[in-house]
Amino acid sequence: MSAPSHLAVDPRVGLEVHVRLATRSKLLCACPNDPDLAPNVATCPVCVGLPGSMPVLGGEAVRLGLLAALRLGCQVPARSAFDRKHYVYPDLPKGYQVTQDARPLALGGSLELSSGKRIPLERIHLEEDAGRSRHDGAATLVDLNRAGVPLIEVVTEPVLRSGAEVRDFLLRLREELRFCGVSDCDMDRGSLRCDVNVSLAPRGSATFARVELKNLNSIRAAGAAVTAEFERLHKQLARSAPPASSAPRNETRRWNADSGRSEPMRAKEAALDYRFLPEPDLLELEVTPEDLAAIGAGLELGPLARRRSWRTQHGLSQTDAADLCGSRALADHFDATVAAGAPARSAAKWLLNEPDPALAHGADPTAAPRLSATRLAELLAALDAGTISAATARELAEHLATRPAAEPERRPLPELVEALGLAELTDRDTLDAAVDAALVARPDAAVAYRAGRSAALEVLVGEVLRATAGRADAAVARRLLGVALGR
């Protein structure tokens, strides 16, 4: 039975996003924070909850949590505190999770979507992760490597209105937190996980049943699950009067990506069910204004602001601007290259088409780019001026990258091009000979071009470039081939 189209409803979505912090160790012990280790090797008495073990709060986890709070415009209280959240599950060896309930790390804040809409946040708090259960046939295997890994939980106000907005929020949050180095936010490695709370009520109603969706393993799945759940709840509302018993109720459901539907799991827990108690083994966390100033010192323009600036100032496409924000290192290198004198569009094209491992997402932050911003700007200026071809530019870049000792000379680029025999080929006799050789090597392409297949000319251009070791200008080769073919 489908819901009547005239039923006016008020949709609400709130997100609880768990983000694994990019620390070397766990939140309360020195065990490594590494999702790629073999099961149950990164454990100790603290993270598996053995009697008598005492936790020690990791300073780097606190710093990254505060960095996220500042990036998202949150208010950071001078003091926050930890609590124990009690529940029973096979992968929670202590029987409780250390988290922050009554006094979280940060309050408020917001995140701007790509559309310009701002989504207010309720809070950000620090907590430890639970272990991981894996169902293998009739058995359930437990891996405690993840137990105690540091997380922040980003909790939004329930103001998202659609699956599309949920996707946009998660993409933007991932972009911001990756950009400032808080987390790698890779969902396939469990670094970003999301619980979605969906509510739907007749417009004007003050009563909203809350459905929590679990098992969302991708940003696309989160958006699809919200869209499907709204449809399910809409139909349920249409059938609910009477009987009232069919109205939506608070519950937790599992998303089944194969069927495209949610499935019931259990009744929704209330806060009372978790029996929150103050954590007796950890002191209050005190944050001074000086701490915040030091942590926030490196927070320049975020990725969204940079994208907009690049599009306005340099005319970059939306796609190129977004791709350049794939990592902070890449965005910074683009800005530095443009500041060194490179045309912005040429710099964007080069950096996106000639990827540098040192600038990629997840690269070692201490790794140096293959070409400095100054050298790259010189290279792109020569390429734009037509004094070197694209193939020559790539060869020259490879030389400069693999032979840093060749720069004791610090010769100007034109001298280095000449010394390496990479100067643009301008000798007409040599170019004519290369054109003749291309026509002999690929007579089929010549016939196809004369028959009207314009794309065949590029085959001949490739032959000319091959014959001249890439030193011929492709535009010149096209012109000479056109003359030779009578077009």
Instruction: Report whether 168 contacts 64 (CB < 8 A).
Output: no
For range 202-227, the mean pLDDT: 85
Instruction: Report whether 127 contacts 103 (CB < 8 A).
Output: no
Q: 247 pLDDT band (50/70/90 cuts)? A: low
Q: Tell which residue, 2, 410, 14, 415, has the closest CA to residue 234.
A: 2
Round to whole Å and give the CA distance between 121 and 106. 10
Q: 401-421 burial by CB neighbour count: b if 16+ within 10 A, else e?
A: eeeeeeeeeeeebeebbeeee
Round to whole Å and give the CA distance between 123 and 132. 25
Task: Read off the pLDDT of residues 159-211 as tens digits, 9 standing for 90 and up.
Answer: 999 999 999 999 999 999 999 999 999 988 889 999 999 988 777 776 777 89
Size of the chain in residues: 487
Q: 3 pLDDT band (50/70/90 cuts)? A: very low
Within its chain, how far is the Cα of 376 from the centroid? 26
pLDDT at 221: 92
2 has a pLDDT exceeding 50: no
Element (H, E) at 410: none
pLDDT at 130: 94
Residue 13, amino acid: V
Q: 421 pLDDT band (50/70/90 cuts)? A: low
pLDDT at 408: 42
pLDDT above 70: percentage of residues in the chain: 89
For range 415-434, the mean pLDDT: 66
Q: Taking the CB of residue 366, how many other CB atoms lie within 10 A of it?
A: 6
Q: 406 pLDDT band (50/70/90 cuts)? A: very low
Largest alpha-carbon pair distance within the chain? 91
For the chain, the structural domain boundaries read: 9-286, 300-419, 428-484
Task: Read off the pLDDT of residues 28-78 as tens digits, 9 standing for 90 and up.
Answer: 999 999 999 999 999 999 999 999 999 999 999 999 999 999 999 999 999
Two tokens, residue 322: 């977004």
Q: 79 pLDDT band (50/70/90 cuts)? A: very high
- DSSP string computed for 110-174: EEE-TTS-EEEEEEEEEEE---EEEEETTEEEEE-TTTT-EEEEEEE-S-B-SHHHHHHHHHHHH
Higher-scoring residue by pLDDT: 368, 423:
368
For 254, counting Cβ atoms within 10 Å of its Cβ (0-12 exposed, 13-18 middle, 19+ buried), the class is middle
Task: Read off the pLDDT of residues 254-277 as tens digits, 9 standing for 90 and up.
Answer: 898 888 888 888 776 555 678 999
Mean pLDDT score across all residues of the chain: 86
Residue for token pair 């949709």 = 11
Q: Taking the CB of residue 346, how many other CB atoms lie within 10 A of it?
A: 18
For range 234-252, the mean pLDDT: 69
Q: Which residues pair with 139 in a beta bridge?
A: 136
